[in-house]
Every structure is written in C-alpha cells, then in structure tokens.
Structure 1
C-alpha cells in the first residue's frame, strides 16, 4: 500500500508507450515463416476468438490452443521462444520514457494495463517500462472495471490517465469524473480510426504522440479537466 498522493499518473502500455502495431506485424511475419500462411491464419482465428471470450489479448494462450489442434507441429517451440525473447525495448514509442520521467516530477507514475499473466508482464519488463515506473504495475482483465482496486493500491486526490483508447478514457471519466484528467495520444490503429473515435467524447487533452506530454505541466493538465 502506498500513502495517498496528490496526483498519480496512470499509463497504458500497448500503442501508448509501446508500438504494439509493430509488434503484431513482426509476430504475423514470424508465424507465416514458421507455420505457413494457412496455419498462421488459423492461429489468428484462435487468437481473435480467445480475445472475444476473455476480453484481452493472449498470445501464448492462443498458441497453447493451436498446439492442441496441431500436436505434431514443432513450430510452436520456436514461436514460444520468439514471443518470450521478443526485443520489446526496441519497440518503445519515441518519447515514452521521457513522458514517464516528466510526469514523475509531480507524483508516482504507474503502469495500468490489461493482459494475461505471463506475456504482458514479460513485455513490461523487457521493454524497460517496469524499471521506468519503479515496479509500479497493475494488470487487469478489464482495467476500467477495477478502478476501486486502483484507488486502493495507489490512492490519490487526482489521477491523470494516458491511454490510446477513447473507449477506456470515456469509461474511466464516467466513474471518476473531475477526479481524472484523460490524455489521448493519437497513436495506433484504434486512435487513428475515425469510426472508432467518433463513438466517444473527446478526452480532456489530445496529443499527437506520447512524447508531446512533456510540453504540459501539471497546472495545464489540471486546468483542462472537464
């Protein structure tokens, strides 16, 4: 338990601090080379079905299911090692670490993300994000449904939430209201899809890239809060 802070800044990971779209492209290329196009497509069918069922991306879980359907395909070993050894530090979006450091000047910075219990922690560790936030990481199935736990773990008078998904920002704003400043970096396929973004109200602050956050001081962010 942390003592109550005046401000805590919460950072999403995928396409907020880390170029997840690039990671997916790399994984797709690896799968095609390892399994062939037909079985690569089968893996993604399993992946998407699993994500719809459990609510988050589970790369290794989908690989486990793929293995049960193709038990003699030794490519799963190579793919497992590829995923666990992936160079996530090379996929940080420029300015990510600077943004974390900048926000750390006014209070604790915390990783707040969704994901599985193996691959997502591995990603956060190998990318250097775990060290950047001094180990302060929260991983949920649906983070917008666990805000009470966030408040228990890192109590604060005010939160700043940085996330590339307007859906998440809107959901959290509904619950926390003026206690949260929502920051929307327009990065990744969700943030740049006009049909997706049109479904939700704008965030308190919109920036083109995560590195632009260093141009905002705390007073400016608080003043933008609706």
Structure 2
C-alpha cells in the first residue's frame, strides 16, 4: 500500500482528551467511602503493582485482586458496576469532541492509546470518542513500541501525535524523526511532572489545553510550520 498524501493525526486519550486524573480521584473517594482509607490505599498499591507488571493501567485487574478477603462485603459487587458504568462522557475536556471533528476535517484522525483490552476500549466508547473517529482506534500496551504496526494500519508520509506525556512524545520522535510532529498538551499530572524533566528532543509544539487545536490549519502541523508559542493563561 502506498503512503497517503495527507498526514495522520494520532490522539492520546487519558489526560489529553479526557480528564483521567479526575476519574482516579473519584474512584479513590468511592473506595474510601465504601471500604475505608486503608482499603483504598491497598487498592492503589495493587494497582501500582499490576501496572509495574503489565505496563499499563488495569483498574479491573486491580479490583479482581482487591476482592481477596472482602468477598462478604456487599459494596464489593457495586465497584464493578461503578467502573463499568462510570460516566466518562462527563469527563471529556472542554471542546474535546469539537477538536476531534476539526482535526478529522483536516486529515485522517486516529485514537492511539495505551491500556488494557477491556476497560480502555469501553472508556473510549462511553466518551463518544470511538464514534467521533468512526472506529479508528488503536489500543496497545506500549504504543511507542508499536509504531511499525501503527504505520501498517495507517500509512502516511507524516504523522502528528498529540499527548500529555512529553517523554513518550520524545521517544516517538526519536523513532520517526522529521516524519512526526509532536504536540504536548499541558494537562494532567504527567504533564506537570514533565515540567521538571529534561525532554530531548523537546516537543515540536506545546498547548495548554486540547481545545486550542480547533483553530489550527493543516499547515500548522507540518514540518515547515513555524513554532507556535503557548497561549497565555
């Protein structure tokens, strides 16, 4: 298959289009209310252990392990309902769906996310993002290690990656070089942590929030585009 003439937009989900930090905070509050602070902390300890083992966030897997010793707790079964029916559509950042529609009007647009194979796709579906990109969704364990597979699915001469993790953007840039424009969204705790790290190579563009992309033209994302400073405020 020959490479397409148009670039392809690649959009992260958590803390890029969706306020996943808020979801995590509300999940912690719910666990504390139902089981107490000690059990809440145990859940997060299990969650971190699983993330270290598997390489991605596994909220459902953590709940499976969390149940040990709690099988007689009435609230336990409600936690699965809480996770599976969480209103992620209410956690989209302002103008997220408008931004996706704008980018799709400019060029092919794909969700490129890390995560498990059950909860992450469901989250993307519940937000409306799946429908917004017409099902063009990729979910990998480590997306930065799957760039060859991504290119096979969506061949293009140029790509634009929008993400809240500057170190991940740098890793992808080292692989794709000038064929990739990296757009760093300063939202969420990973973005805040990145402010204090040395990022090499630095993101090609930095924005304060995802909605800023609504006003961009296609040429603003191409290699010859001049640097666009971060908007004040």
TM-score per shorter chain, which class? over 0.9
Q: Report deviation, 1:121.
A: 0.7
Cα 1:123–1:102 shift into 2, 3 Å: same
Alpha carbons 1:5, 1:107 under 8 Å: kept: no
For residues 83-123 of structure 1, the C-alpha deviation after alignment (integer angstroms, 9 at most, x for no partner) is 10000000000121121111112221100000011110110
Partner of 1:59: 59
Q: Report deviation, 1:63.
A: 0.4
TM-score using structure 1 length: 0.94
Partner of 1:9: 9
Which piece of structure 1 moves more, 155-164 or 67-76?
Answer: 67-76
Please show how residues 32-47 of structure 1 align to structure 2 within 5 Å. 32-47=32-47
Q: Distance in 2 between matches of 1:134 and 1:194?
A: 32
The DSSP-based 3-state class of the residue aligned with 1:104 is helix
The DSSP-based 3-state class of the residue aligned with 1:150 is helix
Partner of 2:94: 94
Runs of 4 or more above 6 Å deviation: none
Q: Distance in 1 between matches of 2:137 and 2:40?
A: 32
Partner of 2:136: 136
In the alignment, structure 2 segments of 5+ residues that lack a partner are 228-233
RMSD (CA atoms): 1.9
In the alignment, structure 1 segments of 5+ residues that lack a partner are none
Q: Distance in 1 between matches of 2:152 and 2:51?
A: 28
Please show how residues 1-226 of structure 1 align to structure 2 within 5 Å. 4-193=4-193, 196-222=196-222, 223-224=224-225
TM-score using structure 2 length: 0.91
Q: Distance in 2 between matches of 1:43 and 1:181?
A: 38
Q: Distance in 2 between matches of 1:143 and 1:203?
A: 17
Cα 1:143–1:117 shift into 2, 3 Å: same
Cα 1:69–1:50 shift into 2, 3 Å: farther
The DSSP-based 3-state class of the residue aligned with 1:77 is helix
Which piece of structure 1 moves more, 144-153 or 215-224?
Answer: 215-224
